[in-house]
Structure 1
Amino acid sequence: MFPERSNFSRDWRRDSSLTGVDKKCFRLLPLPDTRRRCRMMAPDTSDDVPSCACKGVRRCLVCEGLKEKVQPEASESKIVHHFLYDPQSRLAVGKDAQAASFPFSGVFLWENFISEEEEKELICAMDQDVWKESQSGRRKQDFGPKVNFKKKKVRVGGFSGLPALSHKLVLRMYQESTLAGFQPVEQCNLDYHPERGAAIDPHLDDSWLWGERLVTINMLSDTTLTMSLELGLPELGLTGEVHVAVHLPRRCLVVLYAEARHIWKHAIHRKDIHIRRVCSTYRELSAEFLPGGQQADLGAQLLNIALNFQGSPV
């Protein structure tokens, strides 16, 4: 099919869990080139003058040093109750021996979701694309529609689909009942580096466009996902802020849904990024964009584009 001296090789990726035509997922990858090296480290994007994309209260080590950004005044000390999430019992276990544990619903952890070889393949593919500056020291790659969340407007824009290597990962997700029927319409790759003080502040993801489940694959290093509830849990006698630390092993998949998706904020703190960390987060559509919803036609169009798995970053 290909000339003997073709610039491309056929790279077959098989998964024993798949059957039929889905088992024959492949991608055309360039042959090794000494000018293009895949290394498990951040791509060289250094400029003469370092820059960042932080706005407002957002900050990273670059803008703190170069822009002499004014540090916020220390807020009054507040009570924070610290817990650790136990994925076996699905309990939030108090760090203080006197603190009672409580059920923590809405977190599903799948360890070793990808192999070492798959991780290397994914990172090499990402590093061949451009990483754009993002807030709080992060870099990003977006595969999704153009969205204005404030005005609640969405359009296709330059969206060409999810990346090819995500196809087999999405098929693998279907093995877990928690992800039954999951159809991702957006993928966001984020690159965290300790030298930039990369982090993401506590936040709730949008629920107008994005649906019930947030799915993230954690790569290159372990980290901690911090869940927080500012109002506490007075019914348990916890009147201060409550933090639940969810340990994310390297190459794991984590799903946030239910209360962990809609009530508890989630964050990755600067102190929990020790070496480079990359993650891919997949989002599904909300009911408004699914069959029977007010914008079902637009939702169908976006899904048709997303699931062709031929996309490039927008």
Structure 2
Amino acid sequence: MATAAVATPEVLRECGCKGIRTCLICERQRGSDPPWRHTPQKTHRFIYFSDTGWAVGAEESDFEGWAFPFPGVTLIEDFVTLEEEADMVQLMDQEPWKLSQSGRRKQDYGPKVNFRKQKLKIADFSGLPSFSQELVRRMGLYPVLEGFQPVEQCNLDYCPERGSAIEPHLDDTWLWGERLVSLNLLSPTVLRMSRETPGSLLLCLAPSGFPAPLVEGMMAPSRSVPCQEVEVAVALPRRSLLVLGGAARHQWKHAIHRRDIGARRVCATFRELSAEFSPGGRQQELGRELLQLSLSFQGRPT
């Protein structure tokens, strides 16, 4: 790929917010407090360490030095080069960005889906963009992404001037499969993970000198903390690839807070098919058609 300069597009003066979601643009127009200001904050913050797979209590917190295993998160740093990053963002900016909620803009490469009614349309879907072919090939070199065949790519554009964010959520499981993969471009950020289910997390005392490798079950749990009061912060370096699976995919909601967007950030999220659309599933034929379209790499945003 040839190196290209990346310019930040002019900040939009409109927003795509609906319902309770807001951004800086519509908040200024309404002149009222945004709903998120009244949302209770998580009481206890833990930091995820990718080299150990554990979440450890933040410094100077009530649980400093205490830890619990946090499976299902894989972080691959420097997945693309600076030159590849610049080229990809330049190619994205040549296509139209659509207004989205909470101050974001988006480009969708995938079928039109109504998740509530569990219906989809593929008439306008022509595949993933051509520049993603090398990305998908490279993903398959990592054991955690063995056999990964994405049928959707969603590009999201975050900008601090718009107050961009994404609320805590779980991705759909009717159409989308086990692994969620996201490439973080242009600036670092933090993924905030939380749970709304009742119950408690059992903690053990992290050994001296952490982050040395921890072994699950190495010490009997000595403390517990309510799940609903915990936030796990996962630092996402620039040009890193994040993979969520297992508990991190199905039990923990993920979010990007407004305060964690300090400069323009672009992410490309890739999703694979669920078992229902895979070989042997009830809608395997439709799944096969989606894969054939997706992996043609001839797509334009829908």
TM-score (norm 1): 0.84
Where does structure 1 lack aligned partners over 5 or more consecutive residues?
A: 1-12, 14-28, 33-37
- Is the counterpart of residue 259 in structure 1 residue 247 in structure 2? yes
Correspondence for 2:73 among 107, 115, 119: 107
In 2 relative to 1, CA 157–167 (structure 1 residues): closer, same or farther, beyond 3 Å? same
Q: CA deviation at 1:40?
A: 2.0
Letter of the structure 2 residue corresponding to residue 119 of structure 1 = E
Alpha-carbon distance in structure 2 between the residues aligned to 1:284 and 1:272: 27
Distance in 1 between the 2:140 and 2:129 partners? Answer: 18
**8 Å contact kept, 1:54–1:137:** yes
1:289-309 CA deviation, whole Å, 9 max, x = no partner?
Answer: 011111111110010000000
Please say which structure displays the higher CA radius of gyration. Answer: 1
- Counterpart position of 1:138: 104
What's 1:312 paired with? 300
Alpha-carbon offset, residue 75 of structure 1? 4.6
Instruction: Report what 2:169 is aligned to.
Output: 203
Is 2:92 the counterpart of 1:126? yes
Q: Which of the pair has the greater relative contact order for Cα pairs under 8 Å at 6+ separation?
A: 2
Q: How many residues align?
A: 277
Aligned to 2:9: 43
**Secondary structure, in 3 states, of the residue corresponding to 2:225?**
coil
1:238 aligns with 2:238: no
The answer to whether 1:54 aligns with 2:17 is: yes
Q: Which residue of structure 2 aligns with residue 82 of structure 1?
A: 45
Whole-Å separation in 2 of the counterparts to 1:91 and 1:173: 24
Measure, in 2, the Cα distance between the counterparts of 1:206 and 1:63: 28
2:11–2:162 CA contact under 8 A, matched in 1: no
- Aligned Cα RMSD in Å? 1.9
Q: Is the 1:214–1:283 Cα contact (8 Å) retained in structure 2?
A: yes
Report the CA distance between 1:155 and its aligned residue: 1.6
8 Å contact kept, 2:176–2:271: yes
Q: After TM superposition, which residue ranges in structure 1, 4 or more long, deviate above 6 angstroms?
A: none
Contact kept? 2:16, 2:99, Cα under 8 Å: yes
Runs of 5+ consecutive residues of structure 2 not aligned to the other structure = 203-223
Deviates more, 1:275-284 or 1:228-237: 228-237
2:216 is matched with: none
- Give the one of 272, 277, 297 matched to 2:285: 297
Q: For the residues of structure 2 that align with 1:307 and 1:39, how far apart are their CA atoms?
A: 28
Determine the C-alpha separation between the residues in 1 that align with 2:7 and 2:200: 45
TM score, norm. by length of structure 2: 0.87
Which amino acid letter does the alignment assign opposite residue 175 of structure 1? L
Contact 2:42–2:231 under 8 Å retained in 1: no
Q: Percent identity over the alignment? A: 54
